[in-house]
Structure formats: C-alpha cells, structure tokens
Amino acid sequence: MDFETSQLLIVMIAYMTLLILWGVYQGRKVKTGSDYAIAGRNLPGWVAALSERATGESSWALLGLPGAAYATGLLEIWTAIGCVAGIITTWALLAWRLRDEAEKYNVDTFTEYIAKKHSENGRWIRMIGSSTIVFFFFFYVGAQFLGGGKTLHAMFGIEPEFGMIVTAAIIVPYTIYGGFRSVVYTDVIQAIIMIVTLIVGPIVGLIYLSNHPELYAQSMQLALQKAGPEYNSLLGGFKGFMAGVVIVGGFSWFFGYLGGQPQLSTRFMAIKNKKQAIQARNVGIAWTVVAYIGALMIGWIGLAIFGPDGLKDREYVMPAVILEIFPPVIAAVLITGAIAAMISTADSLLILSATELSENLIKPLQKSERLTKDSLLLSRVVTALLAVVALALAWISPSDLIFTLVSYVWAGIGGTFSVVILLSLFWPPYHGRAVITTILVGLVFTIVWISTGMDEWITSRMLTFFVALLTALLVTILIPRRELKQ
C-alpha cells in the first residue's frame, strides 16, 4: 500500500469512526416508534433538506454524473436539466404539502399516508404498497452494500465480499439503534462534505488547468473541442429521431422526482412546521443547483486533465481529479466524504424498508396495542433482520441481477408512486381503488417494458409515469369510489 493510499485509509477510518459516534449520539434521543420511523416529524428545515439531498444524490452526484459528463461532454446537460427541474418542482410544489398532509393524518411512513388519504381501501393499499416497496428495496439495499464493497476494493484493494461486510458494519449499528433520526443527522454531514467537494473541486480545478500547459487542454471549453464534435454538442452528434430520444431520455429523470421516491418523500413529511418547510425548500434548491453545476464541471475538468481515453472507468473521474489537483491530505478528506456518502445511502433505504415492514405489515396484524417501548424494540429487530437479509442477497446474487432489479426502482417505484402522490394531493376524485390499480399497472408495465428490451428505445422512466397516469385517470372516472361503511 503506497503512502497516498495509506493517508486515504487513515482519514477514512477516522471519518467513519466519528460518523458512527455521531449517529449513536443522535440515536440516544429516540424514545418512541414515531421517533424511530420519522424523527417524530420534528426536523429543522435545513436538516431535512440536506438529508434529502444526500440520500437522493450521493453516488449519482459524485460518481455517476461527473463520469457521464467526462464520457459524453455537453450531452449530459439534458440529464442535469431533467433532474434539477424535477428536484426544484418537488421542493417548490410538493414538499410543504406532504409535510402538511403527514401532520393532518398523523402518519409515520410513506405508505401509511397514502392508505389514510384513501382510507376506503386503506388496508389493501398498505399491504400492496408496502410489500412492493420492501421487495424492491431489499435489492436496493443489497446493491448499496455491493457498491460499497466494490468502492473499497477499487480504493484499497480489499476483496469485494469483505468490503460488503465493512460497509454493513459501518452503517447498520447506528441505523438499528437510532433509526430515521440517526440516518438523517449523519446524512447532514455527508451533504456538507459533498457540496464542499462540488464547489471547491471545480474552482481549484480551473486554476490547476490554467497553470499546467502540459495537460490535454488548459480549459474545459478547449477540452470539449479537442475531444471531438460529439463532445462539444448538446445533441452528442445525433440527428433526427435519435436526437429526440437523447433529449427525452435525459429529461425523463424529471418524472421520478415528483414525490414517488419514498426515501426522499419521508424527509418532506418529517419537517417540523411550515416555516421550516420554507427554509428546507430554499436550502434544497440552492444545494441542488450548485451541486449539479459542480458535478458537470468536474467531469469536464477530468476531460481536460486526462483526455477522453485517459481513464479506464469513467465513474472514477471525481476521485482521479481530486487526487490530481489537491494535496494528499485534503484529497483524502474530500474523497473519504464522497465514499462515505455513497456507502451510507444504504442506511436511508434500510430504515425506509424496516419502517414500511414494521408499521404497515407487522403492527396492523397485532391483536393488542403494544407499549411504546415494545414498538421501538420491534422496529429495531426488523431493521436488524432486513440488514442481514439484504447483505445475504448481495452476497449470493449475481451483481447484474441486483443492479437490473435496481434499474426498475426509478421507473417502477418512482414513476408509479409519483402519479399516486400527485393525484392524491391535487385531484380530489382520485380514490383508493384507482390507487391500487395505478400501483399494480405501473409496476407490471415497468417490468415487462424493461425485460423485453423496449427501454432502449423509449425509457420507462418517462413511459411508466404516463401509463400510470392514464390508468389512474381512467379508473377514477370509470369505477366509482368505494364508500366507507358507517
């Protein structure tokens, strides 16, 4: 292990240790099942915003988007526009409404809100909605463990299987102990490190380019020009129909952000009051705009430093750029924060799955009321069991199977539940039977569309949304609402 890697490892161990201690400290404040599931719906706005952003964008903002910008140039702007437009729309129009609805119906989970909003079919909505989320998020959590193992393997050369265990050992204990509260407050640290990296990195990178004439290019603009016309074009060299497919494919990320990602919507629901919701909106939007600009710039700076063929894996352009332009100690801090953010995404997905399972599938089956302490213990036990199952799935399943199933989440969960949330908030005639049909049709369509390869032509990220929307409208109009028995 060289000196640079040793520094990175030392900084990472120190950072992770402090993160675990911080998560455990926050967990000491958890006294009830509601504290565990949604922090008692008492989060300050800035905390909810930073947690939502860290959960939504960790590996994407730090590896995926810079890597895509490095590999495709200006073409990736369309993806950024779609994501930013979706995030801004959500924070401006949906976040405060979901907060108010969570307070009105006194709910602790995503599915519980939908079930109480459409109480005439609430029992079936809980069963179908929670079962669907738990099933897909099993694999989603497993994918995060697998991704953490691969990241640690790439950075330090340890075996991926051992890296998975290390990943689980870092995030599972404080997640079991402190639940949603511990997860949220550790997310805040991650979001701060992420935004510092995405602000300071491009600034220092531009200075570095201007001072090193021996590089592939001395500016991002020159790098894009030298790499070829497809890099320096918003359409990537495509014309006609394919140009439209490229634009639609990039912008299609917009639809998954419209309230349909449960791990993000629960952050909105947990905000303390309306004043804090306004603060959260401002912080969330500002963070997003700055972060996406920074992520694109790091990709293009990487193109200027290494050239279009200089990296074997495009998704490691951010660590490569940071190591190139910063002194080793500073680079180690920034990269460690990035790695930690990617690894700890698993905690948000794990606590969401655990609370959905315990609150909506297990507790409703109990014949007697549980004491608060028993409810909290049940939530912790379920979280621990889910972590073990998710780790086992990641261990025994082929990685392509896990990541294939994860690819269904954005469309099948995000696109489908975005329709459910939007119509629940804005269209009073929408009823419980239509909710159930929307969920089932959206998920089945996504699975069929992706598994048959049609996703390569028209992305299910967009098409699922409109299929689910059409289904919801037709069922609402054609099938009468089931009235509650008095």
> How high is the pLDDT of residue 444?
93
- List for the chain the helix, strand, coil content (%; round to 5): 85, 0, 15
Task: Report, as an integer, the average pLDDT of 386-398.
Answer: 85
The lowest-confidence range among 112-116, 149-153, 296-300, 357-361 is: 149-153
> How high is the pLDDT of residue 371?
45
The per-residue pLDDT for range 426-460, each reduced to its tens digit, is 999 999 999 999 999 999 999 899 888 888 788 88
Q: Specify the amino acid at residue 401.
A: L
CA gap 242, 149 in Å, rounded: 37
> How high is the pLDDT of residue 440?
95
- Tell me which residue of 116, 167, 162, 178 sits closest to 143, measured CA to CA: 167
> How high is the pLDDT of residue 400?
67
The lowest-confidence range among 132-136, 254-258, 342-346, 382-386 is: 342-346
The per-residue pLDDT for range 168-212, each reduced to its tens digit, is 888 888 888 889 999 999 999 989 988 999 999 999 999 999 999
Considering only residues 231 and 153, tell me which one the structure prediction assigns the higher pLDDT: 231
DSSP conformation letters of 293-328: HHHHHHHHHHHHHH-TTS-SSGGGHHHHHHHHHS-H
Largest CA-CA distance found in the chain, in angstroms, rounded: 79
> How high is the pLDDT of residue 281?
96
Task: Report, as an integer, the average pLDDT of 359-381.
Answer: 70
Residue 47 makes CB contacts below 8 A (sequence gap 6+) with 184, 185, 188
Q: Tell whether the model's pLDDT for residue 486 goes beyond 60.
A: no
> How high is the pLDDT of residue 336?
78
The per-residue pLDDT for range 284-317, each reduced to its tens digit, is 999 999 999 999 999 999 999 999 988 887 878 8
Q: Tell whether the model's pLDDT for residue 270 goes beyond 50.
A: yes
pTM of the full predicted structure? Answer: 0.90
Coil, strand or helix at 363: helix
pLDDT band at 346 (very low <50, low <70, confident <90, very high): confident
Task: Report, as an integer, the average pLDDT of 253-266.
Answer: 90
The whole-chain average pLDDT of the chain stands at: 87
The per-residue pLDDT for range 86-139, each reduced to its tens digit, is 999 999 999 999 999 999 999 989 999 999 999 999 999 999 999 999 888 888
Question: Can you give the residue ranges of every domain in the chain?
Answer: 3-398
Q: Are 347 and 137 within 8 A, CB to CB?
A: no
Q: Are 118 and 424 within 8 A, CB to CB?
A: yes
- Tell me which residue of 435, 418, 443 sits closest to 479, measured CA to CA: 435
Looking at CATH, the fold of the domain delimited by 3-398 is given as Sodium/glucose cotransporter (1.20.1730)
pLDDT band at 1 (very low <50, low <70, confident <90, very high): low
